[in-house]
Chains A and B, each alone.
Chain A
Amino acid sequence: VIPSPRMTAGLATAAFLRVEETLLPRHAVRASLALATASPGLGERWGRLGALAAAAPLLAGLGVADRRLQARLCALHLRGLSADRVALLAPEAFAGLTAGDLRPGGLEVIERARRHGHRVVLVTSGLQEALAPVAAAAGADALVGGALELRDDAVTGRLLPPSLLAGPGAVAEFAAREGIELRGSYAYGSDLADLPLLGAVGFPCVVNPDWRLAREARLRGWPLLRVAGEVSA
């Protein structure tokens, strides 16, 4: 969690936005590609890139069928990288990104949330370190992201979900810690992992959902938003 000074002040309402689909298209491959390119040693670097290239058709298919599995498979290609390397070089995946590169629909949601006095909390299933430039470009108050599991200061290849998407209790715990009143808050989710978050807030909304979340949204009568636009960076 990247706290903002404003987050610590009093009880407030928030708008939780899932970065994937709301501000950016899916980007699991992009972060993995950036970190594979930054691997130490030419042999290891080319080995990782070759493995990613070989898995490209499978990753493309999973991007449509199962995004969570796609993210896990991408993380598997980073096995063995050091914690230092991930922390320092992951932001290179989105370095130089500006607000103009984000989806206008998502930015409009952020702008509207600000006008109504909500805190803006970005949630991503990707690496928190990699997405830091996105949070800065979007002007978010906080970013809650996933992390790579580490053992002996090296990546095991397992992607840990962001704390906010860990389960129903995690949302309430986060809100209590940050002083957020959930009943007056908004959430914009895009896949089934967002279900606990969407269910916890007073005003849930789904944005470009996968087919599973779209079905849930229809059953629960949640509004559905379509935003378009590709990242140019």
Chain B
Amino acid sequence: VTLTSVRAALAGKRILLLGGSGFLGKVWLAHLLETVPDVGRVDVVLRGARGRASAADARRRWVALLERSPAFHPLHDRHGPALGAWLASRVRPVPGDVARPGCGLADGEDPDVDLVVNLAGVTGLDPDPRAALAVNADGAVHALEVARRAGAALLHVSTAYVAGDRLGRIPETLHPDYAPRRGERPDLEFSARREVDDLRRLLARVAEDADTQRTRDVLAERARGRLEASGRRDTQAARDRFARRERDRWLREETGQAARERARHWGWPNAYVYTKSLGESLLLERRGAVPLAVARPTIVESALEFPFPGWKEGIHTSAPITFALTHGPLRGLWARGDLLLDVIPVDVVARGLTLVAAALVSGRHAREPGAYHLGAADRNPFPVRRVTELTNLAHRLAQGSGTPAARLLRPEAVVVGERGYRLRSLPAVRRLVRGGRAALSGLLRALPEVDGVERRVAEPAGPWPSAPASWSGAWTWSRRPSSCSGRSFAIRAACSRPRRRRTSPRV
């Protein structure tokens, strides 16, 4: 075994980084600069605001990233006020856009780099398929074109979930024209290039449909309803704005639905992994002599150490689940408790990517492009039951143990099966509340005295109904109703109060 020094392999190397403004991109860049300070130069490709892509825009965006993102805190701590000068010789913001041919780099300007790292991706389980196709599939091809022109190697970052809905052991090899359903039907005809073309045509058809007379009329009707509900002034400009938003929303839903259906047909669970897998297949088909490595991380999560323990940007991946598990009265997680959630800290992924980059630039990677999987479940399995348990415990320790009564009544998340979930879910509770309201209404109708009080609510200016004299004290507005009937009345009143949108501040 010959050891390769990562620092020596990357020293003096010039790198073009695509997707450097994302969560993983920022951490990888900062981690690379921290651990391999001798790196030659990193060109960070950045889009300007609203699609503008001038050098000034890219520089502005880079400065904003550097100043605001906690990912760069360790570099600030190490270099202090000299950081700007230190970075000036190592990092260069470059205007561009991975979704455009040639990554949107300036015409005629071939990048002078040794390695192209493509971390760009439209993530999320239900992304806009138009953007996902442009970045995850077309973007991979654009990155390959740039690497070919520059005579550089390409490190493409994908996801471990391109494997799709398959069970059992799946080898860590890349297959051209891969589709998960080929696992069950090897004779299945599937071409990634054709699939990309088909998907593009499908999305274009949906977009055309958005402009048909009938759809426009339906959307205009919806826009009018939303404008009215918003309480804003009904002007032509407002109508146009709401109509545009309604069209965008409709397009997003319809294209999303179409892409999901296609993805599921071939065995991928969502449009994100579907487009990522198509991108991989296109790379394999067109790579030619370009040295290529594909890194496939699992679920990229909070940092273990770098930039500091626990750091995460935004509410992504498992954060919404953990938030939902610690808030509200319903905390049943419908899952199989023994399923493994393969999460991996972002800085561990960054370290892995640096290793792959070093292997790639020093020619030590596998000649036949293989996939470098970056996951944790093999060594550190994290079953869903333990995810729920640690979430509960973290929340409890953060909140404190509380009073003895609070300890007894504190709700905690539990893993439940389908039946348990149906019993605890919001629709079930809604049904229960509706049933309770119906029963209560029936009960109230059966009590003539309470009916009298309801009439008074409906007609506040009218005379007080002829209630028994002994009740008069209990039914004043200034006193909390004390009798059982009084409570029923209060509940009924609360349930039947119409929902109104407040349009002016409460005085």
Write the residues of chain A forming the contact surface with B, with a CB cutoff of 8 angstroms: 37-38, 40-42, 44-46, 49, 82, 84-85, 88-89, 92, 95, 153
Contact = CB atoms under 8 A, between A and B. Distances in A.
Interface stretch (B215-223, B234-242, B390-398): B390-398
Mostly, the B contact residues are helix
A85 B401 contact: no
A59 to B, nearest CB: 20
A95 B401 contact: yes
A40 B390 CA distance: 11
A82 B407 contact: no
A88 to B, nearest CB: 5
Indicate the member of A40, A42, A45, A46 with the most B CB atoms within 10 Å.
A40
A92 B389 contact: no
A40 B392 contact: yes
A163 to B, nearest CB: 27
Given A37-B407, A38-B407, A92-B401, A84 B390 contact: yes
Contacts, number: 36
Contacts of B390: 84
Contacts of B401: 38, 92, 95
Interface stretch (B100-108, B357-365, B409-417, B452-460): B409-417
Interface of B: 385-386, 389-390, 392-393, 396-397, 401, 404, 407-409, 411-414
Given A41-B412, A84-B389, A85-B393, 20 more contacts: A37-B404, A37-B407, A37-B408, A38-B396, A40-B389, A40-B412, A41-B414, A42-B411, A45-B408, A46-B408, A82-B385, A82-B386, A82-B389, A84-B386, A84-B390, A85-B389, A88-B397, A89-B393, A89-B396, A95-B401
A89 B407 CA distance: 12
Indicate the member of B393, B407, B409, B413 with the most A CB atoms within 10 Å.
B393
B408 A88 contact: no
B393 A88 contact: yes
Contacts of A38: 396, 401, 407
Contacts of B389: 40, 82, 84-85
B393 A84 contact: yes
A224 B389 CA distance: 46
B383 to A, nearest CB: 9
A37 B397 CA distance: 15
Contact of B414 (A40, A49, A88): A40
A201 to B, nearest CB: 39
Nearest to B385: A82
Contacts of A42: 409, 411-412
A92 B414 CA distance: 22
Contacts of A45: 408
A49 B407 CA distance: 12
Contacts of B404: 37
